[in-house]
Amino acid sequence: MAQGPKERGKGKNTEMDVCPRMYRSPVCSGGLGPAPFRLSKSTDIAMSYNWIEATEPTIAVPGSPAPWSAPQGSHQIKKDSGFVYIAQNAVRHPNSHLEPLFRALYIEQPSFDIDSIDVVTDRNNVRQLLSFFNPTQRKNGLDSFTMNAKTAIFCRAETATYAIIGPSDFRGFGREFEKSYTINQVMNSTGHFRIISYRLGGLSFLVRHETDSYVSDSKPGAKDDTSTGDNLAEILHSFPLTSETTETTSTVQASVESELTIKREGQVVSRESTLEIKTRVFHKPLELSEVVPQLWISQTPKLVRAYHQRGRFQRPEVEDVTTAMKDWEKGNQDDIKKLIALVNRILRVTRNWGGSSIISYDPLEDKLVIKQVERKKMLPDDLYSRWNKTIPVNVE
């Protein structure tokens, strides 16, 4: 069971038990009514970026995920080794994990009304909150978040943001599989992140997530069955690169106080073409029920489940999981309503407090606790000024 987060600022003696024994009691979803909660996307405009390998924190906007390009037949993959990211945003921009999200957002939608958003978060934070209602899943805290005006900005402080896999270690084949089965389109890219905006149960969310790859809109797969995967021009011609292609015309600093550099580079890719890649050993099949909640949160409609035997992979299929996501949403209304009730309660409590808070799970008491703390600001001042509210005070 995960331990509560470590405080890095001076704490105040303000704590609140937001939903004790929540997954055993219907109290958290009480009052929400019988009508089903359905996720509805509020924008189809792509908001995305790639991290670029550079001496200073650098992103390319809109960037592009790597297109799917599976070789014919079986393929031997070497095991993962060396440096691998666990939380790339935290590694590359430790002072402001969420700044790239807002920079990409305002480049693509300069007049975006951030006051209309209730929650800004990474996909994993929503997964963690959902886990509180399922006794089969581990329960963790979000570690920290801040309120600005009416918006909650969730930012989890990971205990480990990267790993170094030694020659004698084994951590699977996932990273090397992606290198072999996709084609990098943005020079020196180390990962593609997308931001989706939607409404759920009366709340508006901005959710960031990493995107592994994408396929042609017209057919689930990067190419026809006769393609060998060796003709790069043939492969790229089949992909949904829209007319909003952006050449590299400028590299600018995000703002005077920001450490982030922004390049205008990449191609807008439709959400409908994006996919998640999962690798497993052949005798441990990945059930859809294990991954669909994650895909539902980010509305990622395609999935690759790749199986290997001692690192040899057969050519996997690209699955459309749109129907599976809709079925999951219909079958998990109780948990979804509890999630919305929990977020609403968090918002009500912390809007009165203002500033920063931490959320932690108390395994002894079986409850979720919020504590008010003082911490450094999560964003540069020019981004805070987008809200119709005073800029938070920084705590050194």
Per-residue pLDDT tens, the chain, 396 aa: give them.
333 333 344 445 456 566 554 444 444 544 555 567 777 765 556 699 999 999 999 999 999 999 999 999 999 999 999 999 999 999 999 989 999 999 999 999 999 999 999 999 999 989 988 888 776 665 555 555 666 668 899 887 777 899 999 999 999 999 999 999 999 999 999 999 999 999 999 999 999 999 999 997 644 433 433 344 444 444 444 444 444 455 555 787 778 789 999 999 999 899 999 999 999 999 999 999 999 999 999 999 999 999 999 999 999 999 999 999 999 999 999 999 999 999 998 888 888 777 788 887 777 877 788 888 877 888 999 999 998 765 565 655
Give the per-residue pLDDT at 372.
84
Characterize the bridge pairing of strands 274-281 and 213-214.
antiparallel
Domain contains 225: yes
pLDDT tens-digit readout, 61-88? 999 999 999 999 999 999 999 999 999 9
Element containing residue 65 per DSSP (H, E)? none
Give the per-residue pLDDT at 49.
98
Give the per-residue pLDDT at 243.
41
**1: number of Cβ within 10 Å:** 8
Tokens read off for 368: 């979720």
How far apart CA 96 and CA 379 sit, in angstroms, is: 6
Domain contains 395: no
First to last CA, the chain: 31
Q: 337 - beta bridge partners?
A: none
Q: Is the bond leading into 20 cis (omega within 30 degrees of zero)?
A: no
Tell me the residue range of the domain where 331 lies.
Answer: 11-384
Give the per-residue pLDDT at 16.
59
How far apart CA 61 and CA 329 sit, in angstroms, is: 32
Tokens read off for 315: 């050519």
Number of domains in the chain: 1
Give the per-residue pLDDT at 233.
43
Task: State the burial class of residue 123 (Cβ atoms within 10 Å of its Cβ: 0-12, 13-18, 19+).
Answer: buried
Tokens read off for 306: 């790749």
Owner of token pair 């396929």: 215
Domain contains 259: yes
Cβ–Cβ under 8 Å, residues 341 and 25 = no
Domain contains 393: no
Q: Using the CB atoms, write b or e for 327-340: b if 16+ within 10 Å.
A: ebbeebbebbbbbb
Cβ–Cβ under 8 Å, residues 60 and 263 = yes
Give the per-residue pLDDT at 136.
62
Give the per-residue pLDDT at 27.
41
Kindly report the pTM of this predicted structure.
Answer: 0.84
Domain contains 389: no
Task: State the burial class of residue 376 (Cβ atoms within 10 Å of its Cβ: 0-12, 13-18, 19+).
Answer: middle
How far apart CA 132 and CA 121 sit, in angstroms, is: 17
Domain contains 359: yes
Reported for 250-254, long-range contacts at CB under 8 A and 24+ positions apart, including other chains, are: 251/58, 254/99, 254/103, 254/380
Task: State the burial class of residue 249 (Cβ atoms within 10 Å of its Cβ: 0-12, 13-18, 19+).
Answer: exposed
Give the per-residue pLDDT at 40.
79
How far apart CA 281 and CA 121 sit, in angstroms, is: 32
Characterize the bridge pairing of strands 75-76 and 40-41.
unpaired
DSSP secondary structure letters along 112-165: --GGG-SEEEEHHHHHHHHHTT-TTS------EEEEETTEEEEE---S-SEEEE
**Beta-carbon contacts of residue 225 (< 8 Å; ≥ 6 apart):** none
Domain contains 396: no
Cβ–Cβ under 8 Å, residues 307 and 282 = yes
Using N-to-C axis directions, what is the helix angle for 322-331 and 288-298, rounded to 10°?
A: 90
Domain contains 292: yes
Closest CA to 235 of 274, 181, 197: 181
